[in-house]
Structure 1
Amino acid sequence: MRPVQVVGIGGGSAAGKSTLARRVTARQSGAALLSLDDYFRTDREAGPFTAPDAAGVRHFDLNHPDAVDWSRVHAALEDHRRCGTALLIVEGTFALVSPDLRGRMTLRVFLAAPEDLRLERKAARNLAERGVPPEVTRRNHALSARPGFRQFVAGSAAHADLILNGEEDPDGNARILLERLR
C-alpha cells in the first residue's frame, strides 16, 4: 500500500486555509480534503469553555484545541490511508498544534495573515453565511479567537516547513505549495 502524503495547513481563523486547501485539492489528482472544522466535539458538557462574557456566561470554546475530537481525526486519517488516498490535505486552525497530527504530515504549512484582515474576513463570512452581525463576531473574537490564537495557534508556525502569506492570491499560494510537493 502506497503511503499517503499528508499536508497540514494551519493558521488563524479566516487566514484563507480552507480556500487554499480547496484550490490545492482541485488541482491535484487523487487528493482529498479533511477539514478540522468537521471534527469539533459534539459532547460539549465538559468544555473547554471561554472566559465569562459580559453576562457571566461561559460558552463552548471552538478556539481551544480540546474542542477537536482528535480520535475521530486520527480515525479519518487511517480511513484515507486504507482507501489509498494519494494526497490528503488536512486544514484547520489547529492543524499544526497537535504533535501527533504533525508527526503524520509530509509537509506542514502555516498560512499567516494580519489579525485585522482575518477579523474583517470572518465578520463578512459570518454575516453572509449565518446572518451573524459583525459586532457579535468582533465580540466573540475578543473573547475567544484572539486569546486562542495567541495561546495555541501563533506558536504553531514554528512547526511549519512553509509559511505562506494569507494576503496573497490563493492560486499563487496553491502553486507554491504544489511545487513543494513535487
Structure 2
Amino acid sequence: MRTAPHGAEFDSTGQFVIGTSLDPGNAATQVLDLAQPENPVVKYSISLKESEHRSFRVTLLPQRHAMVTFDGGGELATWDLRVTPPKMLAKVHAHPGASASVAVNSEEKLAASSGVDGALIIWDIADLANIKKLHEFPGMANNGPSIRFSDDGKSIAGISVATASPDVWWWRWELTREGARAAICRQGAGTMTPKD
C-alpha cells in the first residue's frame, strides 16, 4: 500500500495482515502475507469504489481459502481466494448505510455483521455462494458495535460507544438453536449496569 492503511488487523492465523489504502482514485483493500516478515507480499487485492473505501471490513476464512467483506454501502459479500483476482461468490444487502464490523466463527460457517443502523445480523455462510440471514437484532446499539465471536462459537461479544454521552455499551449474544438472545450492559462512570 502506498499510503497508510485505514484500519489494519491480523487474521486469526497471524500470517496475514489486512488493510485498506486511501489513495485517491485508487483505493483498495489488500491482504499482505507475512510468512517472510522482512519481505511482505500482497496476497490479495480488491479495488474499492469511492463510496466503499472509508468503511470497508474484511475477514479471512483461511481454512476455506475465502473471505467475507462488508462495505460502505451495507453490502456483505463472500469471495473465492483460490483465483486471481479474487472472485465474488455472493452478495447481499445487509444494512442500510455503512458497515461497522464483521466477524466469522472459528468453523467459518457463521458470520455476524453490525452496521451504523445499530443492528446485528447473523448469517449462514456454510455455502459461500448462498448467504442466508439467520437472525436479526434491530436497533441494538448506537453506531453499531464492534463484534467478535467467542472461541467456541457459541456467543458474540460487542462494544459500542454512545454518541451523545461518555457511556460504553457492552453486548453479548448467546447463540441457541432457536436463534440468539442478547444481554446488554452499560458502563458509565466506572459502573456496569444491566439494561432492560
Question: TM-score, normalising length from structure 1?
Answer: 0.24
Greater relative CO (CA pairs within 8 A, separation 6+): 1
Higher share of residues assigned strand: 2
